[in-house]
Amino acid sequence: MSAEQPPLASHAVAAPALPTYKPRTFWSDAWARLRKNKVAMGGLAVLILLALMAIFAPAIAPYPYGSLLPPSIGWAPIRWAAIC
């Protein structure tokens, strides 16, 4: 090389930086896919509602089941075939 020419390294163009992103975990990917599915989100809302009703059942229905119905001891079973 002659003294007039700069070294080749000074002519090198820097490569563009690759976009960096945080890789998704299995559960974050599953949650993102679940949020996009409207029917699945509706089903999840129903399941959450049922779970909350089961947890707070004593507050929703404060009376025991047996106290609301008349005593059925000694009654004969209903024969639905005879009625229809």
pTM of the model: 0.51
| Rounded (5°) CA angle 35-48-50 | 145
Q: What does each C-alpha distance from 72 to 19, 28, 51, 78, 81 come to in angstroms? A: 73, 54, 31, 12, 21
**Measured distance CA(56)–CA(3) in Å, rounded:** 87
Proportion of the chain above pLDDT 90, given as a percent: 38
Mean pLDDT over the full length of the chain: 80
Q: What are the tokens at 14?
A: 């820097």
Helix (H) or strand (E) run with residue 11 in it: none
Mean pLDDT of the 68-79 span: 66
Per-residue model confidence (pLDDT) at position 47: 98
Rounded average pLDDT over 71-80: 67
Average pLDDT over residues 27-52: 96
Q: Kindly state the tokens that stand for 66.
A: 């047996």
